[in-house]
A = this chain, B = another copy of it.
Amino acid sequence: MPSDRRDTGGLYRLMLDYPLRHGKSVRPALCIAVCRATGGSLAAVLPTAAVLELYHNAFLIHDDVEDQSYLRRAETTLNRLHGVPTAMNVGDAMLALTMQPLLQNIERIGLGKALKILRTVARMARESAEGQMLELRWISTGAWNQVDADYVRLVHKKTGWYSFIAPAMLGAIIAGVADRGVEQIGQKFVTLGIAFQIQDDILNLVAEGGEYGKDVLGDLWEGKRTLILIHALRVARSRDRREAIRILRKPPPPTSASKKSDGPDAVAVIDGLVSSGAMAEHARATLLSAWKELGHCETEQTKTQAEIEFLRDLVKRCDSIAYARLAAQRYARRFRREIGKMLDLFPPSDHRDFIFDIADFTIHRQI
């Protein structure tokens, strides 16, 4: 029985999975708000705003594969539901499908704007990839000498560009703002992106699961360079700092199994067999080294639950979360002040108020 000629293996259904989960839609909301606040229409901006959400969801899918995450928007990740190959390809397909609506912008809003949008999206994609790479290199080389400025630069490239700078620029382009104005508006959103990411990092440490929707403490398992950890390492006593860096340089367990509160631990199973006498002591070493060589699990070289708790306690003792909160508030205030001056050039509107609301939401949100 030959398959349907139009059969695409369920691709389009899978592509809708993440977008239809309860997300915040910050990027399209911002793009639309900036477009309307600067005089553009909803019809003109909508397809481009949708592309931003498509792009973001593709990014999330690939991120979840890379981090072997379990949860996304309070449901099982695509990689856990359908396996790594399917998740990777769904992400690739979503990125590929962003091109068509951007090309259709030519008929919708004219060639000049459509080309500016394509160039901005190309820049955005490059900035994200460069930022992601920088972070991956920090992780792979075990570098833990970052200062606050390194964090800010990373966030600017990795998250800021595609989540705040580009959405705002695209909204302004579609509204017909002149090139220099578009650049200026984009620049103003850098601070909002940093405030947003700092709050994201805080939530990962303080969330209790449930509403949060992502892997709690996932950042500590992955060894993510957050403003919080950079602060803690700066102010900690040198013994604690050494211990923290030793832990942070260890990889997480490959399947991230330890992130689940229940479920067995591979090494614990082996240890149990040894202590019950079912396995000789020397067999333990043979097994662990065989598994390590096969890459099945890093066993003793990976972070443990106790070590993650040490890191969380250290962050608390150093008041690093309070430090980060103050920093986020400072960035959000600066954003409000600067974007306010700029938007004063346009007539008052609900859309302008909405942009201010996003700034408040950014630092007060719990999801």
Contact = CB atoms under 8 A, between A and B. Distances in A.
Interface string A288-313: 00110111110000000000000000
Interface in A1-53: 1-3, 5, 7-11, 14
B263 A273 contact: no
16 contacts: A1-B147, A9-B133, A66-B84, A66-B85, A92-B132, A93-B129, A95-B95, A96-B125, A97-B125, A103-B118, A255-B295, A257-B294, A264-B290, A269-B286, A273-B286, A296-B297
Interface stretch (A210-218, A235-243, A277-285): A277-285
Interface residues of A, number: 82
Interface string A247-291: 000000011010000011110011001000111101100110011
Most central of A82, A138, A282, A291 by chain B CB within 10 Å: A291
Contacts of A269: 286-287, 290-291
Number of copies: 2
Interface in A62-99: 62, 65-67, 82-86, 88-90, 92-93, 95-97, 99
Contacts of A234: none
Nearest to A2: B149
A65 B92 contact: no
Given A85-B136, A269-B291, A273-B280, 17 more contacts: A1-B147, A5-B153, A9-B130, A9-B136, A9-B138, A62-B92, A89-B129, A95-B96, A97-B129, A99-B118, A100-B122, A111-B111, A266-B296, A269-B290, A279-B280, A279-B283, A294-B297
A353 interface: no
Interface in A104-146: 106, 111, 115, 118-119, 121-122, 125-126, 128-130, 132-140, 145-146
Interface string A144-160: 01110110010000000
A11 B89 contact: no
